[in-house]
Structure 1
Amino acid sequence: MEPTLPLLGVIACITLAMGFNYTNGFHDAANAIATSISTRALTPRVALAMAAVANLFGAFFGGKVAKTIGSGIIETPTGVDGLWLVAAALIGATGWNLITWWFGLPSSSSHALIGGLAGAALAAGVAVQWEVIWTKVIIPMVLSPIFGLTIGYLFMVSILWGFRHANPSKVTRGFRLAQTGSAAAMAFGHGLQDAAKTAGVVVLVLNIAGYHEGDSIPPWVLLLSAIVISAGTYAGGWRIMRTLGRRIIDLTPPQGFAAETTAASILYVAGLAFGAPISTTHTITSAIMGVGAAKRLSAVRWSVAGNIVGAWFLTFPGAGLVAVLAWYVSGIFR
């Protein structure tokens, strides 16, 4: 098909998408490795490097998630205003990422992106596919933390029961080694989910401008998204890492392994089977709460958990409002 919009505008939008992707990487680096660092299973730089590589590979398995974002959230807008809409959405999502990162709150980059797209679309008069948002965003947003909490709790109970007669120091050493694998699995799931979401936005931009047609994901788009999110992951997100690694509960290696394995499993099922763009942040945080509660309810610092849950509910409308503001400001240039 023949391109219908200037290449410069397309490049600008893709650059904004990669800027969001980079913030996603350092904002959500904690999702994959905070537990391994807090239990001293891995050193910070080794953990970050491993997470970056796993993110890179995971992105190539996120085709279904990318299609949901690229063609399922809003109707494909047209013309130059369509590019401005995507730009406003990305500014909203990136702005919300930076705000929550500054305050050390592990909010969802995924829901920030979806909220930004929905907010900008509403402001621009473009149809939002609410049925898709309901079935593939809202319902999973509610279910994934419930599954994380429940499965994490049950998995930790089974570990406590299965190793009740084992030597504690040997168990700790064994699970510290096992966390290398569970952290890598979690990082792979983060790439599968979050790198793929940005790839879907790039495809949306290409469709708007006439450089692409359909919901297929060109390999170069996935590669670019994977490289940038991996670079962001390696940069680290230390403020949020402290929240996940220490402030919710004081994690032990068995708990870290249980939380990471639980969260990774949920990410794989949601992304590979259903193409649902669920939040890696919600999933790992709820899993951490579940494994902590398995030992005793008082082990979880519920006041900190409450602040995090509050940030979850604010993310979708918060990013949407920033995107609306960006859309109206862009009227100066349109």
Structure 2
Amino acid sequence: MSLALFATVAALALVMAYYNGFHDASNAISTAITTRSLPESTALAMAAILNLLGALLGLLVITVSAQWALQLLGLTRLAEATSADPDLLGWALVSICLVTFGWEVATWWVGMPSSTWHAFYGSALGASVAVGAAAAWDHLAMMLVASIIGPLLAAGLSYAVMHAIIALGRHELLRIGHMRFAQTMSAGAVATGHGMNDARLPLAVIAVAAASAGMSMSTAVSFMLPVAIAVAAGTLMGGHRIIRTIGRRLTDLSAAQGLAAETSAAATVGAAMAGLDVPISTSHTLASSVVGAGLAQGPRHVRWPVARSMVIVWLATPVVTAVCAASLTGVLLAII
């Protein structure tokens, strides 16, 4: 891969990191903002700082290598198929990053939470098909299983936690001040977990590009801080359309529901990072937790048309991104 193409991929990875923070990480504090546990500016600043710390912590504990990056991104077969022409892999990465970024912009515009990981995996599938590489169906299957189990676990846990909060409140063992403090702490945990979970994606893209360009992994390691800063900077800007969907359109969120949702999301993301090889979507997890908390107070407390639209976007993500990436990769290869 040429130096210019590597620089292009690295720049797109940083843009993707920034928009990932803008699109996803703001979800972490959407409930705290909606329930007025924290002022919006304070909540966004807290989330940005914790995303930065989480990203650095998550990146510092991994051993950056080409094999790690390819396995994480599901690009092993694509790399093998393009080993004789590194530039081909570079253009495929350009296509994948552009489509992933484009899907994030589209879902932000309609105010729907969606997974950056799922968009990336779908794009990788489409790009692989376009260059004639074997698709990583096993990796995609693992992602789909995680995307089903994760939200269901989060919703179920949030439902149970909400009932526990109701019981404690009934006996006056948990007051509104306690709930808002605990919600702030749990929102911070989700923000930290998001940084640890999602900063790996852009760094892995850079690691794959560096290896293809014949560079040492120290080049990719040098991007750790820029990636973490990009995620934090995006978080600070705040994806307000998605915050509004999770905090107001999906249900009329109370402090108790916010606490249940944030606590359950933090626990689910933490457990997934410890026990799964496939990253879990923080967006899906938190949104499902909000649904579970609302459902604990009765089905009428959830706005099901909004929830249905959200699920449709989730299901469409890998399909639409795969088609778009296959088309864009084909166009790029025809031009070059």
Give the TM-score taking structure 2 as reference length.
Answer: 0.91
Instruction: Assess, with a 3 A threshold, how the Cα gap between structure 1 residues 11 and 231 changes in structure 2: closer, same or farther.
Output: same
User: Structure 2 CA distance, aligned partners of 1:146 and 1:64?
Assistant: 29
Q: How does 1:141-220 map to 2 (within 5 A)?
A: 141-166=147-172, 171-212=175-216, 218-220=220-222
2:111 is equivalent to residue 104 of structure 1: yes
Superimposed CA distance per residue, residues 225-260 of structure 1 (whole angstroms, 9 cap, x where no aligned partner): 111011111111011110011011111112111111
**Partner amino acid, structure 1, of 2:229:** I
Partner of 2:3: 7
Unaligned runs of 5+ in 2: none
User: Structure 1 pair 71/278, CA: closer, same or farther in 2 (3 Å)?
Assistant: same
Q: Note if contact 1:116-1:316 (Cα within 8 Å) is conserved in structure 2.
A: yes
Q: 1:90 touches 1:323 (CA, 8 Å); kept in 2?
A: no
How large is the Cα RMSD of the aligned pairs? 2.0
Per-residue CA distance 1:50-108 (angstroms, 9 max, x = gap): 11111112123256698765334022243101100000011111111111111111111
Matched, 1:250 2:252: yes
Matched, 1:57 2:53: yes
CA spacing shift, 1:15–1:125, aligned 2, 3 Å: same
Give 1:297 shift: 1.4
Q: TM-score, length-normalised on structure 1?
A: 0.92
Structure 2 CA distance for partners of 1:131 and 1:332, relative to 1, 3 Å: closer
Residue-pair matches, total: 325
After superposition, residues 82-121 of structure 1 pair within 5 angstroms as: 82-121=89-128
Q: 2:231 aligns with which of 229, 232, 235?
A: 229
CA 1:245–1:163 in 2, change beyond 3 Å: closer, same or farther? same
* Structure 1 residues 295 and 69, CA gap change in structure 2 (3 angstroms): farther
Query: Does the aligned pair in 2 maintain the 1:68–1:276 contact within 8 Å?
Result: no
CA distance in 2: counterparts of 1:236 and 1:171, whole angstroms: 29
Paired AA for residue 106 in structure 2? I
Question: What's the % identity of the aligned pairs?
Answer: 36
Whole-Å separation in 2 of the counterparts to 1:104 and 1:189: 22
**Separation of aligned partners in 1, 2:63 and 2:119:** 15
List structure 1 segments (4+ residues) > 4 angstroms apart after TM superposition: 62-69
**CA displacement at 1:129 relative to structure 2:** 2.5
Aligned partners of 1:328 and 1:299: how far apart in 2? 46
Cα deviation for residue 326 of structure 1 reads 1.6
Structure 1 unpaired stretches of 5+: none
Report deviation, 1:161.
Answer: 1.3
Q: Is the 8 A contact 1:71 1:204 kept in 2?
A: no
- Residue equivalent to 1:130: 137
User: Shift in Å at residue 325 of structure 1?
Assistant: 2.1
- What is the 5 A alignment of 1:285-304? 285-304=287-306
Deviation of residue 22 (structure 1)?
1.4
